[in-house]
Amino acid sequence: MILALAAMLAELATGYPQRIFRRIGHPVSWIGAGIAAADRNWNRERRTPAARFAAGALLVVLLLAGSVAIGLAFEMVLALSASGTVAFLAIAIAMGTLIAQRSLHDHVLAVAEAMETEGLEAGRQALSLVVGRDTQALDGAGVVRAAIESLAENFSDGVVAPVVWLAVAGPAGAIAYKAVNTADSMIGHRTARHEAFGKAAARLDDLINLPASRLAAVLIALAALVQPGARCRDAIRTVMRDARQHRSPNAGWPEAAVAGALGIRLSGPRVYGGVPSSDAAINAGGRANLVPADIHRALALYRRADALLIGLLALGAVLQWAL
Q: Which of 10-19, 147-156, 253-262 has the lowest mean pLDDT?
A: 10-19
Q: How far, in Å, CA of 237 to CA of 7, rounded?
A: 33
* 160-201 pLDDT per residue, tens: 999 999 999 999 999 999 999 999 999 998 888 899 999 999
At residue 277, the 3 state secondary structure works out as strand
Mean pLDDT for 38-55 is 94
Q: What is the pTM of this model?
A: 0.91
- Residue ranges of the alpha helices (H) in the chain? 2-14, 18-24, 27-42, 49-80, 84-96, 101-118, 120-128, 140-154, 161-187, 199-208, 210-225, 232-242, 252-262, 292-322
* 207-231 pLDDT per residue, tens: 999 999 999 999 999 999 999 999 9
Relative to beta strand 281-282, strand 275-277 is unpaired
Per-chain mean pLDDT for the chain = 91
188 DSSP assignment: -
Alpha carbon distance, N-terminus to C-terminus of the chain:
12
pLDDT at 271: 56
Give the contacts of 44 (CB within 8 A, at least 6 positions apart): 52
| Angle subtended by helix axes 292-322 and 140-154, to nearest 10 | 0
Fill in the amino acid letter for 276.
P
Mean pLDDT for 87-113 is 93
pLDDT at 14: 83
Q: How far, in Å, CA of 133 to CA of 146, rounded?
A: 9
- Inter-residue contact 166 to 3 (CB < 8 Å): yes
pLDDT at 278: 65
* 2-26 pLDDT per residue, tens: 999 999 999 998 887 777 767 777 8
Query: Does 276 score more than 90 pLDDT?
Result: no
At residue 119, the 3 state secondary structure works out as coil
User: What is the pLDDT confidence band of residue 270, given thresholds at 50, 70 and 90?
Assistant: low
Query: Does 273 score more than 60 pLDDT?
Result: no
Phi/psi at 277 (nearest 5 deg)?
A: -130, 120
pLDDT at 77: 84
